[in-house]
Each structure stands twice: as C-alpha cells, then as structure tokens.
Amino acid sequence: MSDAAERKMQFLYALRSKGVTDKHVLTAMEKIDRAPFIRGLFSERAYEDMPLPIGCGQTISQPSVVGLMTQALEVSPRDKVLEVGTGSGYQAAILSQLARRVYTVDRHRRLVREAREVFEALDLTNITAFTADGSHGLPDQAPFDRILVTAAAEDPPGPLLAQLKIGGIMVLPVGQSDTVQSMIRVRRHETGFDYDEMRPVRFVPLVEGIARET
C-alpha cells in the first residue's frame, strides 16, 4: 500500500475508534483532504488526530471532533447550514458534502480569504464565506436547518437560537472557561428548545466583533 493510502486508512481508523460511525460523515472525511486547509509547516501533520495552528492565533479542530460534531448535527442533503467560526474552512468543506448549502462566517478577514481560496481550488461551490461576527448569526440568510458553532460561548447566543428553523438542530461548545466546555445539541420544536449535553470539548472562545487586521 502507498504511504498516502496507509495514512488515510489510519486517519479513518482513528475517527471510527473515537466514535465517528456515521457512514456519510466518514465518506465526506475520506473525500476531503485536510492538508490543503493547513498552511506551512504543520501541513505535514494533517493526518494526525490533533488540533493544529492556522494563523490569527486560531486552530483547525481535531478531526475526530469535527466528525463527532458533524455527526451530532444530523445533516440532510436538502439542508441550509450556518457554521460560525470558519477558521481553516475544513469543517465547512466537510459540511458541504452533506448539505445543500453552507454559509460560514469568521471574524478574521484573513482566515475567510484563505478559506475561500481553498474552497475555490477544490471546487466546493456550495459554500459561501463571509467576514462577520457570527454571534449575531446571518440574518439575511436565516432561518437555517442546521447551525454549527466552532468557538465556545458561555451560553447559546440568542440570535442563533432565533435563526434556527423549527425542527432544526444546532451543535455548539458551551462553557464558562477555556478549559471546561461541553458540546451541546439544541433541537428547536414548536414550543421551545431541547438541550442535550454530549461530551467534553475544548474550543477557542467566541469573541465579539470583527477582528482588526493584524
């Protein structure tokens, strides 16, 4: 077996062993190579199940966490999805394989610009990336079938709850500190929201406002 094929097999094995079992999610993660989303030195480590630095002081999430969050989101092919926290664009690329349309926002202009370049290079035409403060959601495109937040807030932001369709699902990390956070799944029904605490996670914080160019 070639080195590349072996690396891919190990990558998929690591995902399964951490609980990523949904076959559509695994197929998407098999298809979308993580390396193009990591610039510079760290791209060599793209197939390790580790978060890695991506610039602007941010990180690309650990693949197994991407898989588990995507799985918890229960995306269907007709869904319109909002991701808050584009970062490298890797999570959005995985979502693009499962959903009809993906909107993704980040407060760092540079990360949005770089992610767009990768989406274009990989011909992922159903993703639209914006520079915006995602804690306000994306009112012009709302409501959404699914919302995924990849930065941690103390509580689910009100505007995001409001922009979730009835029957919709939002997955997000919540926590009072940088170190103790839980992944939460919120389902909206006719009369309110159900909350489901799923597992401990660790994400960078959701920060208000657009970042100043560095």
Task: Give the residues lining the site for ligand SAH (CB under 6 A).
Answer: 58-61, 84-85, 87-88, 90-91, 105-108, 111, 133-135, 150-151, 204, 206-208
Q: How far is the CB of 211 from ligand SAH (least distance, A)?
A: 7
Choose among 197, 187, 199: nearest CA to 73.
187
Q: How many CB atoms lie within 10 A of CB 79?
A: 20
Closer residue to ligand SAH in complex, CB, 59/188: 59
Closer residue to ligand SAH in complex, CB, 71/135: 135
Q: How far is the CB of 59 from ligand SAH (least distance, A)?
A: 6
List, by residue number, the catalytic residues. Answer: 61
Closer residue to ligand SAH in complex, CB, 191/211: 211
Using the Cα atoms of residue 137, residue 82, residue 152 and residue 47 in order, give the sign of their dihedral: negative
Q: How far is the CB of 2 from ligand SAH (least distance, A)?
A: 27
User: What residue ranges in the chain does DSSP mark as E strands?
Assistant: 52-55, 58-60, 80-84, 101-106, 127-131, 144-149, 164-174, 181-189, 192-201
Closer residue to ligand SAH in complex, CB, 166/210: 210
Task: Report the alpha-carbon distance of residue 37 to residue 43 in Å, rounded.
Answer: 8
Q: How far is the CB of 135 from ligand SAH (least distance, A)?
A: 4
Q: How far is the CB of 80 from ligand SAH (least distance, A)?
A: 18
Name residues whose C-beta falls within 8 Å of residue 79's C-beta, 6 or more positions apart in sequence: 98, 99, 100, 101, 145, 146
23 three-class SS: helix
Q: Residue type at 114? A: E
* φ and ψ at residue 36, rounded to 5 degrees: -60, -15
Q: What are 52's strand-pairing partners?
A: 60
Closer residue to ligand SAH in complex, CB, 1/212: 212
